[in-house]
């Protein structure tokens, strides 16, 4: 199907579904939620409320950057600052699935409040085909599948879910996003998981540990900008490693650089990164993040590893 036909069809379908009601979209700035937000805005105009939940797990400068991009398209985005609530929910959790559950509950509690406040009865969501396949396959629970938390999309909070992208894979979503006028910083953006930097912090997720991963992520993204990998990230291990500082033993953080090539994130291969690029990233990490004493590059494909560490 032609992209324009797809966009026109989805716009009409959203308009028909929502009718005279109101809808709300939780924008994350990723290509999926951005594309479905623009589609819904086309369909509904001011009947769509767009919120960006700042969960404290975003990359550096992300909330303001996303708000700016959407302002450029004439779409108002309300930033909801909820970091404290997410960190409180994640405190004392070490198990990956428990962390995912805590994140989901915090997300729906914050988002649920926004929904009630907005009076919306429709939730616009950027679910794509891979999310559905991976969740059905039991690989891991994606936070954006309502059924996973026992909410019946037809009843639940009393709202219905609008998922205009659920038949598409990522490359098709990018084409749609481009056609909808989203800039390259969004349509060519690396995938970034709903639970944000949480999926890259092994062990307890605290503001301090997220800050380490945030800085390391920025260094990886800067370092690999020219190589344009499918997805690149930094991970903080839960164990510490021995290092040396000023002649003394120092027990510090271990950061892993992960960069992969993939078509649709279902399978992936490590990016062949030139040695000097790896060394530059490693040097920056230990220099700019005082707690880091070791940096490693991960060589595992998917499968058997997943892309994220959680
Ligand atoms: P994995 O780690 O399963 O990831 O190989 C495949 C792709 O999905 C992203 N990912 C998520 N995206 N919510 C999302 O929206 C999630 O809970 C989630 N977990 C993983 C991951 O970044 C990769 O692109």
Residue nearest to atom 10 of ligand 1 (CA): 193
pLDDT digits (tens, 9 = 90+) for 117-126: 999 999 999 9
User: What fold characterizes domain 3-187?
Assistant: Rossmann fold (3.40.50)
33 C-alpha to ligand 1 centroid (Å): 14
Q: 158-186: b or e for each residue (b if 16 or more CB lie within 10 Å)? A: ebbbbbbbeebbbebbbebbbbbebeeeb
Average pLDDT along the chain: 92
Half-sphere exposure of 125 (CA within 13 A, CB side): 23
Residue extent(s) of CATH 3.30.300.10 domains in the chain: 201-297
Residue extent(s) of CATH 3.40.50.620 domains in the chain: 3-187
pLDDT at 143: 46
* Cα gap 183→177, rounded to integer Å: 8
**pLDDT bracket for residue 136 (50, 70, 90):** low
pLDDT digits (tens, 9 = 90+) for 81-102: 999 999 999 999 999 999 999 9
List, in order, residues 6 or more apart from 255 with CB less than 8 Å away.
212, 213, 216, 234, 235, 236, 237, 285, 289, 292, 294, 295, 296
Model confidence, pTM: 0.89
pLDDT digits (tens, 9 = 90+) for 33-78: 999 999 999 999 999 999 999 999 999 999 999 999 999 999 999 9
CATH architecture of the domain with range 201-297: 2-Layer Sandwich (3.30)
84 C-alpha to ligand 1 centroid (Å): 23
With the most atoms of ligand 1 within 8 angstroms of its CB, the residue from 98, 163, 166, 307 to mutate is 307
Retrieve residue 94's tokens: 């070490």
- Percentage of residues in the chain having pLDDT higher than 70: 92
pLDDT at 11: 97
Q: Which residue would you say has higher pLDDT here, 108 or 226?
A: 226
Whether residue 151 has pLDDT greater than 80: no
- Sheet of 48-54: strands edge to edge? 78-81, 48-54, 23-26, 122-124, 160-162
């Amino acid at each position: 199907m032609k992209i324009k036909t797809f966009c026109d069809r989805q716009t009409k379908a959203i308009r028909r579904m929502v009718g005279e009601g109101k809808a709300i979209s939780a924008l994350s700035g990723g290509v999926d939620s951005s594309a479905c937000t623009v589609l819904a805005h086309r369909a509904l105009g001011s009947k769509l409320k767009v919120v960006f939940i700042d969960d404290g797990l975003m990359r550096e400068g992300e909330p303001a950057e996303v708000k700016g991009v959407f302002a450029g398209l004439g779409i108002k985005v309300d930033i909801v600052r909820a970091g404290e609530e997410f960190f409180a929910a994640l405190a004392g959790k070490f198990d990956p699935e428990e962390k995912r559950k805590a994140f989901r509950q915090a997300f729906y509690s914050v988002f649920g409040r926004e929904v009630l406040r907005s009076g919306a009865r429709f939730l616009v969501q950027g679910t794509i085909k891979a999310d559905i396949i991976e969740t059905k396959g039991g690989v891991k629970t994606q936070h954006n599948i309502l059924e996973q938390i026992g909410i019946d999309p037809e009843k639940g909070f009393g709202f219905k879910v609008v998922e205009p992208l659920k038949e598409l894979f990522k490359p098709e979503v990018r084409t749609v996003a481009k056609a909808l006028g989203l800039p390259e910083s969004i349509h060519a953006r690396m995938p970034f998981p709903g639970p944000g930097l949480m999926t890259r912090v092994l062990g307890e997720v605290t503001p301090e540990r997220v800050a380490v991963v945030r800085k390391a992520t920025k260094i990886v993204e800067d370092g690999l900008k020219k190589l344009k990998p499918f997805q690149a990230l930094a991970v903080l291990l839960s164990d510490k490693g021995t290092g040396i500082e000023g002649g003394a033993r120092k027990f510090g953080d271990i950061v892993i650089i992960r960069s992969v090539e993939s078509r649709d994130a279902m399978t992936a291969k490590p990016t062949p990164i030139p040695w000097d690029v790896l060394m530059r990233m490693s040097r920056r990490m230990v220099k700019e993040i005082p707690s880091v004493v070791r940096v490693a590059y991960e060589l595992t494909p998917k499968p058997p590893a997943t892309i994220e560490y959680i």
